[in-house]
Chain A
Amino acid sequence: MIAVLRAAWLIARKDLVVEARSRELAYTTLFFAMACVLVFSFSFVDREGRVPTDVPAGILWVALAFSGSLALARAFERERQAETLRALLLAPVERASVYLGKLFGLLVLMAGVEMVLVPVVGLLFRAPIGQAPWLLMGLLASGTIGFAAVGTLLAAMLVRAHSRDVLLPILLYPIAVPVILGGVRGTAALFSAEPDVLAAENWLAMLIFFDTVFVTLALWMFGPVMSEQ
């Protein structure tokens, strides 16, 4: 287990160094997410600054899901350029390490996007992001893990498919719907005028359950899926 985590850390660290140099994914995902939020703010915030109930939570998660799928596609495109994914799969490490390394790298990136995005949503939509900050962080973290867990597996599976850019969202969104719904409902419960902490906690528990299922299935499937490439 330590060997698996050590190799995963090496792969994630490598991804983060590459990203720190190119900043390609960070800029792409961040600008896309910000554009999403900005466009929605023009649509939903009226002249008096009022926002329909539950809208900020939905917009936050839509922006996260769309920008996250962009990051997923590009993360594996990099490994395709010089066939470095093959190099990772040829290394004497368990395939689970490769999956976990890529997943961890993506999670760090998406966490960075969320750190900018959440305050912007709070500002533009007057969402009370500070009412239960730890619970909000828990919902964002667990929702992001579930989304990225499925996305990383699908992006790796599609890395050699010709129409991977089309197929990834088509496959990813239906599977990730429970996670996105859980995130939206849990966040909406926190963003309401009187925060429903109990409901948010229930959605958080649901998201943790989905994370456990998705990560376990992905770890189990990643080796067989990649072995014939």
Chain B
Amino acid sequence: MSGVSFDFDAVEVRDVSRHYGRRRALAHVTATFRTGEIVGLFGPNGAGKSTLLGLLSTMARPSAGEIRYGGQLAREVGDALRGRIGVLGHDLFLYNDLTAHENLMFFAQLYGVPHPAQRIAAALSAARLEARAGDRVAGFSRGLRQRLALERALLHDPRLVLLDEPFTGLDDASATVLGGRLRSLRDQGAIVLMATHDFESADGLVDRALCLTNGRATTLAAGGSGGLRDRYRAAMREGQ
């Protein structure tokens, strides 16, 4: 819809801090996210994960520091940058009184997705919701909404995919499908950043893991003998 194409191959977070009044949500976070990787974002409640996702989505501005998308600041690129970002928030951004198809069509048109009918058919198929396409979202379970919301976030083939607790409400089969979908996005060159508390689902899926504690970011050690949860617990103990 913006009419201007923009693309980037990396997102650089440089010494970013974010304050809400006197409360510090993020403090001097520095990280780089590149195409073709899934980065897990872990940390206790209130550690700043959603704040970091909000800053990356351009919905909020850093109090200090800067975020560069392919070397450019969000304000330099304008609306076109938002057309390259897909967000699945904790709230699902779906209209309950619209059907699954209508929700996808609305966002496809808003994002200026070419050939929306075909794209929506593919999205409904990926969400395994073809049979429920004409049903209002109000009648969907949390898991079905989550699957639809993920496809809504990916309708416009975003370069940067920001997911906040994407496994919430998904059954085992759906979580496996989501894992496959995220690997497929990574293989297509997307930058996937995922905040989650679901270590089992994230283990083996993320290429890299960042741990946020009290607004500060540390990289979780790669590999090692234990799983992701063990490494996270070790990092938390060291942080204390």
Contact-residue size bin, chain A (C-beta under 8 Å from the other chain): 20 to 34
Contact at A22–B97, with CB atoms within 8 Å? yes
Contact at B89–A83, with CB atoms within 8 Å? yes
> A10 in the interface, Cβ–Cβ < 8 Å?
yes
Instruction: Kindly state the separation between the CA atoms of A93 and B79 in the bound complex, as whole angstroms.
Output: 6
> A6 in the interface, Cβ–Cβ < 8 Å?
yes
Q: With A10-B110, A17-B98, A228-B61 known to touch, is A93 a contact of B2 (CB < 8 Å)?
A: yes
Closest to B60 in A: A228
B-side contacts of A83, CB under 8 Å: 89, 91-93
B-side contacts of A170, CB under 8 Å: none
Contact at A10–B93, with CB atoms within 8 Å? no
Closest to A79 in B: B95
Instruction: Kindly state the separation between the CA atoms of A71 and B91 in the bound complex, as whole angstroms.
Output: 24
> A91 in the interface, Cβ–Cβ < 8 Å?
yes
> A167 in the interface, Cβ–Cβ < 8 Å?
no
> B112 in the interface, Cβ–Cβ < 8 Å?
yes
User: Could you tell me the distance in whole angstroms from the C-beta of B222 to the nearest C-beta in chain A?
Assistant: 32
Contact at A86–B93, with CB atoms within 8 Å? yes
Instruction: Kindly state the separation between the CA atoms of A229 and B79 in the bound complex, as whole angstroms.
Output: 16
Q: With A6-B1, A92-B111 known to touch, is A81 a contact of B83 (CB < 8 Å)?
A: no
Number of A-B contacts (CB under 8 A): 77
Choose, from B101-109, B119-127, B182-190, B224-232, the stretch at the interface. B101-109
Q: With A7-B110, A17-B102, A228-B61 known to touch, is A92 a contact of B97 (CB < 8 Å)?
A: no
User: Could you tell me the distance in whole angstroms from the C-beta of B67 to the nearest C-beta in chain A?
Assistant: 15
Instruction: Kindly state the separation between the CA atoms of A210 and B87 in the bound complex, as whole angstroms.
Output: 39
B-side contacts of A55, CB under 8 Å: none
Contact at A87–B82, with CB atoms within 8 Å? no
Highest count of chain A CB atoms <10 Å: which of B59, B60, B80, B102: B59
Contact at B1–A89, with CB atoms within 8 Å? no
Instruction: Kindly state the separation between the CA atoms of A11 and B109 in the bound complex, as whole angstroms.
Output: 10
> A18 in the interface, Cβ–Cβ < 8 Å?
yes
Closest to A4 in B: B1
> B85 in the interface, Cβ–Cβ < 8 Å?
yes
Contact at A229–B59, with CB atoms within 8 Å? yes
Q: Which of A1-54 contact B (CB under 8 A)?
A: 3, 6-7, 10-11, 14, 17-18, 21-22
Instruction: Kindly state the separation between the CA atoms of A228 and B55 in the bound complex, as whole angstroms.
Output: 10
Contact at B93–A84, with CB atoms within 8 Å? yes
B-side contacts of A86, CB under 8 Å: 59, 89, 91, 93
Contact at B98–A94, with CB atoms within 8 Å? no
Q: Main secondary structure on chain B at its contact with chain A? A: loop
B-side contacts of A228, CB under 8 Å: 60-61
Q: With A7-B110, A81-B96, A83-B93 known to touch, is A91 a contact of B61 (CB < 8 Å)?
A: no
> B146 in the interface, Cβ–Cβ < 8 Å?
no
> A82 in the interface, Cβ–Cβ < 8 Å?
yes
Closest to A20 in B: B97
> A90 in the interface, Cβ–Cβ < 8 Å?
yes
Q: Which of B76-90 contact A (CB under 8 A)?
A: 79-83, 85, 87, 89
Contact at A91–B60, with CB atoms within 8 Å? no
User: Could you tell me the distance in whole angstroms from the C-beta of B76 to the nearest C-beta in chain A?
Assistant: 15
User: Could you tell me the distance in whole angstroms from the C-beta of B21 to the nearest C-beta in chain A?
Assistant: 13
Contact at A92–B1, with CB atoms within 8 Å? yes
Contact at B59–A87, with CB atoms within 8 Å? no
Contact at A91–B82, with CB atoms within 8 Å? yes
Q: Which of B115-166 contact A (CB under 8 A)?
A: 136
Instruction: Kindly state the separation between the CA atoms of A94 and B58 in the bound complex, as whole angstroms.
Output: 14
> B57 in the interface, Cβ–Cβ < 8 Å?
yes
> B239 in the interface, Cβ–Cβ < 8 Å?
no
Instruction: Kindly state the separation between the CA atoms of A228 and B81 in the bound complex, as whole angstroms.
Output: 17
User: Could you tell me the distance in whole angstroms from the C-beta of B223 to the nearest C-beta in chain A?
Assistant: 36
B-side contacts of A17, CB under 8 Å: 97-98, 102
A-side contacts of B93, CB under 8 Å: 82-84, 86-87
A-side contacts of B2, CB under 8 Å: 3, 92-93
4 new A-B contacts, CB < 8 A, other than A90-B82, A93-B1, are A14-B95, A83-B92, A92-B81, A228-B61
6 closest residue pairs by CB, A with B: A92-B83, A83-B91, A87-B93, A92-B2, A92-B82, A18-B97
Residues of B within 8 A of A (CB): 1-3, 57-61, 79-83, 85, 87, 89, 91-98, 102, 106-107, 109-112, 136
Residues of A within 8 A of B (CB): 3, 6-7, 10-11, 14, 17-18, 21-22, 81-84, 86-94, 227-229
